[in-house]
Structure 1
Amino acid sequence: MTVQEKIHEYLSVHRDEMVEDIKTLIKVDSARAEALPGKPYGEGAAEALLAGLSLFEKHGFLGKNWDNYAIDTVINGKELGLDILAHLDVVPGGDGWTKTTPFEPIVEDGKMYGRGTSDDKGPAVAALYAMKAVRDLGFELDKDVRLILGSDEECGSSDIAYYFGKNTHAPMTISPDADFPLVFLEKGSLHTTFTAEVSLEEGLPRVRSAVSGIKVNVVPAKADAVVEGMTADEMNKYVKEAEDETGVKFTVSLVEDGALMIHADGVSAHAASPMDGNNALTALLKLLSSLPLAESKTKTLLHNVTTLFPHGDYCGGGLGVNLEDEISGKTTLTLDLFELNDTKMSGTFDCRACNSATEENTKNVVQKKLSDAGFEPNDSPLNPPHYVPKDSELVKTLLETYTDVTGEVREPLAIGGGTYVHHIENGVACGCADPSVDNHMHGPDEFVIIDQLVMSAEIFALAIVKLCGK
């Protein structure tokens, strides 16, 4: 039998045991909670790490708890060649589940349902079984493999910052917390808030208030404004034009003091792919800027912000940062938070910067544009892109291994989001998700296809042999 055939047979035999181990972890609600003495992310996260240590011990691995930030284990104690980095924390269970409750895992039609099945407890166990297969089958390794399981990936990854403050990185790192075949490039990011002082001027018509957005990384589906000094009939002409130009639906209603409430209904999307939505906020700003408002500082600033963030511009053209390169594609940028009241106008945008982005050609350009338009931007740094070349040993070996196991040839992915390895040199996110399958990650009825997870373990095990074997 070939190495791959031996691994495949081993994992097939241990399939049901893997499922039960995953269930053990799913039953722990490990969403971040209030810190407790010795438990930086709360009781549930610490309990999940202890459950992970118990799995290490069950399978004959010696584990170590790093102050309830993370746990780790290795195969043979030799010089490190590879880190596998996964996490045991989850997003909150939430409502709307139909198959089961979030922390009561069930198996149905080849799928396991429960919070963390796909993100990231299932993949963490798949990585453990990959290491177990390599060890139990007696494959000799020149270099060691270390499995690190953290507990704060969903809320900022301070766990890994703590861990690597006390440990050195392996020469190569993979994180089973993304799509197959692997992510070789993660765009940079820039979140900037800008403000300006205003006052409620006496001239009419005027915009009294406006508000939109729920999170900086979510394209807003709704936006509202209150306008004084216009009738509904007068407003409807401008509303119709804005609807035709933006595709966003506007509703106009009368409030108690005779002012008009304007509500915009767009389409939400993740800020990493803003073109998948229809931004209600920028559509509303376009409408407000088209109104025959009385001359005022507020009117000028509304015009300026609309010019900087024109509706339908998802690449930062208004801010002068519409960069593009062959490796990562285009920079994307979307205005996702906004508020206008009688003292202040403020907004916050999310930028996913392409691989050629720098402080000089992105952050500094944005700062000057905002300042010239009358706003004071905060001094948020550019989080640089993360890139591992396609011709690196790590990327080539993982792609080759993916093809060996699946029979499919796929190109590595460039994404707008960030993963656990964003700040780790020579680290890539690899599996366990199939991009063609919606696992309802972070939503109700999250699930993992069990055969997909077993196949992932086979990919990881074969990759370990190729990257660290004799």
Structure 2
Amino acid sequence: MEKWIPGAIDEQIEDYLNALQKMVRIESVEGNATPEAPFGNGPKQALEQALSIAEDWGFQTVSIDNAVGYAEWINDSMTNDYVGALGHVDVVPAGTGWSYPSFETTIENGIVYGRGVLDNKGPTMAVLFAAKLLKDSGQTFKKNLRVMFGTNEETGSKDLPFYLAKEQPPVYGFTPDSQFPAVYAEKGVVGIRYKTSFLKGDLDGLTAIRGDFISSSVPDEAVFIFGNGTEKTFYGKRAPSNEPQLGENAITMAVENLKDHSTLSFELQAFFNWASTTFHDKHYGEGLTSMNDLNISDMAIQITPYKIEIKEEQVIVEVSFRYSVDYTEAQVLSLIKESNFKNTTVEVIRSMPPKILDRTHPMLEIMKRTYEEVTGLDGTPIVTTGATYARFMPNIIAFGPSFPGQIGIAHNSDEYMYIDDLKRNIKIYELTLQEMLQ
């Protein structure tokens, strides 16, 4: 039985939804960098819009090199200590298969659809709205508050160094970019670039491969262009790269389909056969030659191929490996190297060890209490497969926005959140910030 606390949230929810609509309308996918827009014009516009909304709601705002910004509520001008909530306003590409306009908010049967509604514009604006309610309540607190807006979470979190070069981190804080209850640990992530060399002529049957390939998503489309000028498109289902079993990987579908293709050389067919055997529908390492050190049944390892290309007599494949907090990157690399195709080199292009917060930390107790107060559900902190801003910003952990059982929504077509869940987000964040500020 949920405990619901009515009040200003219901009275002002249209203000929140209007703000969310303004944010979703901006196609804030990473683009070409310029001196004025380090991650492209879309993310910059989304940052400017978030700061404009914050100013309309009575906050002071700061933009740092158009890479990251924040809305601030100062309770004590004599201290630099602040509680921080850190969300992001960049999004992944829309992909295919939408029933609704991807860069509009559509409300139907109490559900809001649109790219970024869940990941992460909706929750980020929910935190800002919760901060507004606290500010407007007339309460005073011992610490200052910042709601921070990043612009590069989806493609590497390269925005946070801009912030940390000029600002100190919060004393307490969270990122609303994962799930409930509070996340005390995030699994390790290692990104691998396989480079397989071929003899001259072996790749003549295939001239190019293209698609929307980003490390944070299972690819839903891959186009293979053959030497005779024809092309074949493979369609999958987009999903977050930390939940590969919920998607259908267009890359692995392609190599499975093409491993016996008569127009390709024997060597390329053999490579595609290896790639299919190793990765196609093998989300938990079943295709690796040795899994003695890891427990597949406990999902100790999760694998997502997310990019493939042909370049200078090489086929290059990039794969994300996520692994249990009980294991090390060295163990995972050992498994990878044992399972290589011939003439293949392995390069580590992303390395993030597990992020673990002491389970006795007072933040976790606050989050457990506020989550249970609003929902009536068990608030015991959890471990996730996500890779959030918590890995890069000190004193930040992931907290929300998805509730238990809600998986596979982010990065997919028809991304959505229930309006009632957005209201619960706002209330949880309002109570959590209230306690942290005290």
The answer on 1:111 being equivalent to 2:102 is no
Match for residue 332 of structure 2 among 355, 362, 379: 362
Specify the alignment match of 1:218 in structure 2: 218
Q: Distance in 1 between matches of 2:65 and 2:312?
A: 48
Distance 1:190 1:286, change over 3 A: farther
State the SS of the aligned residue for 2:30: coil
Q: Distance in 1 between matches of 2:361 and 2:9?
A: 28
Specify the alignment match of 2:410 in structure 1: 441
Checking the alignment, whether the CA contact within 8 Å between 1:184 and 1:389 is kept in structure 2 is yes
Distance 1:347 1:11, change over 3 A: closer
1:406 to partner: Cα distance: 1.0
1:134 to partner: Cα distance: 2.0
Specify the alignment match of 1:395 in structure 2: 364
Q: How many residues were matched structurally?
A: 423
State the SS of the aligned residue for 1:112: strand
Checking the alignment, whether the CA contact within 8 Å between 2:258 and 2:269 is kept in structure 1 is no
Specify the alignment match of 2:397 in structure 1: 428
Structure 2 residue identity aligned to 1:354: S
State the SS of the aligned residue for 2:43: helix
The answer on 1:86 being equivalent to 2:87 is yes
Distance 1:338 1:460, change over 3 A: closer
The answer on 1:351 being equivalent to 2:325 is no
Pick the structure with greater CA Rg. 1
Structure 1 residue identity aligned to 2:357: V
The answer on 1:332 being equivalent to 2:302 is yes
Distance 1:354 1:58, change over 3 A: same
1:405 to partner: Cα distance: 0.6
Checking the alignment, whether the CA contact within 8 Å between 1:363 and 1:382 is kept in structure 2 is no
Q: Distance in 2 between matches of 1:29 and 1:222?
A: 22
Distance 1:208 1:420, change over 3 A: same
Checking the alignment, whether the CA contact within 8 Å between 1:183 and 1:412 is kept in structure 2 is yes
Distance 1:219 1:157, change over 3 A: closer
Deviations 1:155-189 (A, max 9, x none): 32222221122212113221112222233322222
The answer on 1:404 being equivalent to 2:373 is yes
Aligned-pair Cα RMSD in Å: 4.4
Deviations 1:370-413 (A, max 9, x none): 49x65322244532122224332222221221110111115444
Distance 1:210 1:52, change over 3 A: closer
Match for residue 40 of structure 2 among 26, 30, 42: 42
Q: Structure 1 length as normaliser, TM-score?
A: 0.72
Unaligned ranges ≥5, structure 1: 227-254, 257-261, 290-295
Distance 1:70 1:344, change over 3 A: closer
Distance 1:171 1:212, change over 3 A: same
Specify the alignment match of 1:57 in structure 2: 55
1:322 to partner: Cα distance: 5.8
Checking the alignment, whether the CA contact within 8 Å between 2:178 and 2:401 is kept in structure 1 is yes
Larger CA deviation: 112-121 vs 333-342: 333-342
Q: Distance in 1 between matches of 2:90 and 2:418?
A: 20
Specify the alignment match of 1:158 in structure 2: 158
Structure 1 residue identity aligned to 2:367: L
1:454 to partner: Cα distance: 1.9
For residues 151-300 of structure 1, the aligned pairs below 5 Å read: 151-199=151-199, 215=213, 218=218, 271-275=241-245, 281=252
1:330 to partner: Cα distance: 0.8
Checking the alignment, whether the CA contact within 8 Å between 1:212 and 1:337 is kept in structure 2 is no
Specify the alignment match of 1:458 in structure 2: 427
Checking the alignment, whether the CA contact within 8 Å between 1:268 and 1:278 is kept in structure 2 is yes
Structure 1 residue identity aligned to 2:384: I
Q: Distance in 2 between matches of 1:278 and 1:104?
A: 25
Deviations 1:171-215 (A, max 9, x none): 32211122222333222222223334444899xxxx987999964
Distance 1:403 1:66, change over 3 A: same
Distance 1:37 1:353, change over 3 A: same
Checking the alignment, whether the CA contact within 8 Å between 2:209 and 2:310 is kept in structure 1 is no
1:151 to partner: Cα distance: 1.9
Q: Distance in 1 between matches of 2:56 and 2:82?
A: 24
State the SS of the aligned residue for 1:153: coil
Structure 2 residue identity aligned to 1:349: V
Checking the alignment, whether the CA contact within 8 Å between 1:208 and 1:341 is kept in structure 2 is no
State the SS of the aligned residue for 1:169: coil
Specify the alignment match of 1:141 in structure 2: 141
State the identity as a percent.
25
Q: Distance in 1 between matches of 2:382 and 2:371?
A: 14
Q: Structure 2 length as normaliser, TM-score?
A: 0.77
Checking the alignment, whether the CA contact within 8 Å between 1:119 and 1:177 is kept in structure 2 is yes
The answer on 1:121 being equivalent to 2:90 is no
Distance 1:414 1:111, change over 3 A: same
Distance 1:382 1:322, change over 3 A: farther
State the SS of the aligned residue for 1:156: coil
1:86 to partner: Cα distance: 1.0
Larger CA deviation: 149-158 vs 401-410: 149-158
Checking the alignment, whether the CA contact within 8 Å between 2:301 and 2:324 is kept in structure 1 is yes
Unaligned ranges ≥5, structure 2: 261-265
Larger CA deviation: 414-423 vs 402-411: 414-423
